[in-house]
Amino acid sequence: MAFPAKYPQMNATELTDEARSVLIRVIRVAFPHPSFPDGPYERTADTILREAENSTWFRVALTQGLLTLSNLAGGDFRDLNDEDGTKVLRRIETTEFFGFIRRTTVLNLYDNEDVWEILGYEGPSFDKGGYINRGFNDLDWLPEARIESYDGPEQLVEIATPVSVARVRGGENASAVARDTSNQPGKRDAIMSEMTK
C-alpha cells in the first residue's frame, strides 16, 4: 500500500525520465541478451516503475538507488561498458534496490511473446492443434528411441544388497512392535516413548 509522503517535498522522489533510462541500462547489464532489442527492456522498466508507484518502500528504495548509482559508477552509470557495469551491480546485489529490480525483471522480462520468439519458445499451442502434427518429435540428430518398457533378460534388482529383514516383510505380517517402534526407532523406545508423550 502507498501512503502519501508526510512532507510535500518528499513526493519529489518521483522518477524522472533520466532515472528511467538508467533503470533500462541496469536491467540490460544485469540480464544481458545481445539478441534482445530495447523493447523488452523498456517494457520491463515500465513494469518496475508501475510497481514502485504502489509501494512506498520500493519507491523510496528505487529512487534512492537510481540517484546514487552514479556515485559508485564514478559518473553516469549509462556510460559504463557491460563489464564495468556488472562490477558495480555485483557490489550492490544484496541491496533491496537491486533485489526489487532483479525479482521484478525475472518475473516479467521472460513472460512476453516479444522475447519468446527470439528464444525459440512458441507460446500457446492448443489453439493450433498442439504439436502432434507440428514437430513434437522432429529432433533428427539422434536415433529413434525405444518407448516401450524394457523386455530384455534383466530384471530391475530392487534391493542391491541383500537385506534380510525386508525379505521377511515381503508380504507377510510380522508384528509391528517386534519389527519397529516409533519416533526413535530401536527396541528400547517402546518404553522411552511413554515418558516423552
Partner 1 sequence: MTNIEHDEAAIVIIGSGAGGGTLAYELTAKGLPVVVLEAGPYLRNEDYVNDEWEAFNQMAWLDPRTTSGSWRIARDFPNLPTWIVKAVGGTTTHWSGATPRFKAHEFAARSTYGRIDGANLLDWPITLAELAPYYDKAEVAMGSTHVHGRKPLPANNNYKVFANGAKRLGYKFYSTGPYATNAEEYDGRPASVQDGFNFQGDKNKSKWSTLVREIPRAEATGLLDLRPESHAVQITHDASGRADAVLYLDKDGNLQRQAAGLVAVAANSIETPRLLLQSASPMFPEGLANSSGQVGRNYMRHTTGSVYARFNDPVRMHRGETMAGVIADESKHDPDRGFAGGYYLETISLGPAFLASFGDPGAWGRGFTEILEAYANTAGLWVVGEDLPQESNRVTLNTTVSDKNGLPVPNVNFDDHVNDIAMRDHGYAQAELLYETVGSVGAQRTPPYPSTHNMGTSRMSARPEDGVVDSWGRAHDVPNLFTSDGSVFTTSAAANPTLTIVALAIRQAEYIADQLKTGGI
Window 40-79: contact mask with partner 1 (x via CB under 8 A): ----------------------------------------
Residues 85-104 that bind partner 1 (CB under 8 A): 86, 89-90, 93, 102
CB of 17 to partner 1, least distance (A): 25
Burial 144-159 (b: 16+ CB within 10 A, else e): eeeeeeeeeeeeeeee
Which three three-digit cell numbers place residue 86?
A: 556488472
Query: CB under 8 A: which stretch of 5-13, 25-33, 37-45, 64-72 binds partner 1?
Result: 25-33
Helix (H/G/I), strand (E/B), else coil: 136: coil
Surface-to-core class of residue 192, CB atoms within 10 Å of its CB (0-12 exposed, 13-18 middle, 19+ buried): middle
Distance of alpha carbon 99 from alpha carbon 47, whole angstroms: 15
Closest CB to partner 1 among residues 12, 174: 174
Nearer to partner 1, 13 or 95 (CB): 95
> Considering only residues 16, 18, 68, 169, which one is a binding residue for partner 1 as defined by CB under 8 A?
169
Smaller CB distance to partner 1: residue 21 or 86? Answer: 86
CA 31 to the chain's CA centroid:
13
Q: Are 77 and 22 in contact (CB under 8 A)?
A: yes
Q: Tell me: does residue 162 bind partner 1 (CB under 8 A).
A: no
195 binds partner 1 (CB under 8 A): no
53 versus 117: smaller Cβ distance to partner 1: 117
How far is 54 from 52, CA to CA, in rounded Å?
5
